[in-house]
Amino acid sequence: MTQSPMAGFDLADMTWPPPPYQPPVPPRTEADGVRLFDGVTYATTPGFRPRLLDVRTPAGEGPFPAVVWIHGGGWLDGDRRYPPPTVPAALLHGAVLGAGLALVSVDYRHSLEAPFPAQLHDVKAAIRYVRAFAEVLGIDPDRIGVWGESAGGHLAALAGLVGPGSPDGAALEGTHGVGSGDTGVLAVVDWYGVSDLPALADHPMPPMPGGVEFPDPYEALLGGTEAERPALARAASPVTYAEGTNPPPFLLVHGTRDGLVPYSQSETLARALADAGGEVALRPVDGADHIFLGSPDIEGIVAESVAFLAGHLGAGA
């Protein structure tokens, strides 16, 4: 007899509307003892793809301090699973886990799915989720840092500076996923992120190779030009939130010949953080373009970034 596809299914277990997040999936343990929670749904919104994150924890007993990795891609593209092509995933993952840190890699809505502040809402939702399920994930909820590159660096800076007490803080925190809870972080690594959108209004975009059509990333993020949406451009700029805050320690790493996001963007944020009394280190990568193209020492850049995070998150403590 053919079994009914409804066998074992209990309508009483259903909820409607569907929950705004899912509990962590069962992890798998790799040969080296690393535990991987792969494709965890940390937030859902009707009409959008579920937002996913992966969690890797080192071998051994936790809970471990955690780094939330935020990918780049001009807010238009990118994937939690892939660092920039200059940084092998094995290098990034191995460096973080080898330092005794858990790695949380997050997806977020792209700008043509939803304009700003949707991207920040998603990063904040991921941090809330990790704290809410910290015990299951093997993470110390009191020791979380953020690290991002390019668009992800911009979002990491915002995650470190925006809180409930910020201008329009409640609107920028959002209520996606786990709807409330602490989203503060102890340290930020920002690789070549934008810090001041109005200052980039007249910055020419470099031509795309092969004549590829690519929307203007800033207009896509804002849902219009800076001139049309000046208040939103200021709200999306990390420098807006440096003054009057108690910022966490920042490491800013930026190529001095970055043709996409000028090096001056990190200089501007470094000055603003220093003026606010924050601890900030600005690390120029001499002669490097965006994604550190042209740098001979990618491993050194990764190692310095991981060491910064491990030191401020108390890895091994």
- pLDDT one digit per residue (tens) for the chain, 317 residues: 555 555 555 555 566 777 899 999 999 999 999 999 999 999 999 888 999 999 999 999 989 999 999 999 999 999 999 999 999 999 999 999 999 999 999 999 999 999 999 999 999 999 999 999 999 999 999 999 999 999 999 999 999 999 988 888 889 999 999 989 999 999 999 999 999 999 997 776 666 666 667 789 999 999 999 999 999 999 999 999 998 778 999 999 999 999 999 999 999 999 999 999 999 999 999 999 999 999 999 999 999 999 999 999 998 76
65: CB partners within 8 A, 6+ apart: 100, 101, 102, 139, 140, 143, 144, 145, 310, 313, 314, 315
- Cα angle 19, 21, 24 (rounded to 5 degrees) comes to 125
Spatial neighbors of 42 by CB under 8 A, at least 6 apart, are 21, 51, 52, 53, 106, 125, 126, 129, 177, 178
Neighbours of 60 (CB within 10 A): 10
Cα distances (angstroms) measured from residue 239 to each of 186, 255, 265: 18, 19, 10
Length of the chain: 317
Gap between the Cα atoms of 217 and 142, Å rounded: 34
Question: Could you give the 3-state DSSP secondary structure of residue 235?
Answer: helix
Q: What does the pLDDT read at residue 10?
A: 59
Distance CA 145, CA 66 (A): 6
Q: Exposed, middle or buried by CB within 10 Å (0-12, 13-18, 19+), for 275?
A: exposed
Q: Residues near 177 by Cβ (< 8 Å), separated by ≥ 6?
A: 20, 21, 42, 43, 44, 51, 125, 126, 128, 129
Residues 6+ apart with CB under 8 A from 198: 226, 230, 233, 234, 237
pLDDT at 169: 86
pLDDT at 209: 60
Phi-psi region of 157 (alpha: psi -120 to 50; beta: other; left: phi over 0): alpha
Beta bridge partners of 70: 106, 148
- Predicted pLDDT of residue 16: 72
**Ordered alpha helix ranges (H), the chain:** 89-98, 118-132, 134-137, 151-161, 169-173, 217-222, 230-235, 264-275, 298-313
What's the Cα-to-Cα distance from 44 to each of 19, 172, 180, rounded to whole Å?
8, 17, 15
**pTM, full prediction:** 0.93
So what's the pLDDT on residue 8?
53
> How confident is the model at residue 202, as a pLDDT?
74
Cβ neighbours of residue 185 under 8 Å, at least 6 residues apart?
68, 127, 144, 145, 146, 159, 160, 248
8 A C-beta contact, residue 21 and residue 50: no
Q: Which residue has the tokens 């996923």?
A: 177
d(C-alpha 9, C-alpha 184), whole Å: 40
Q: What is the pLDDT of residue 167?
A: 84
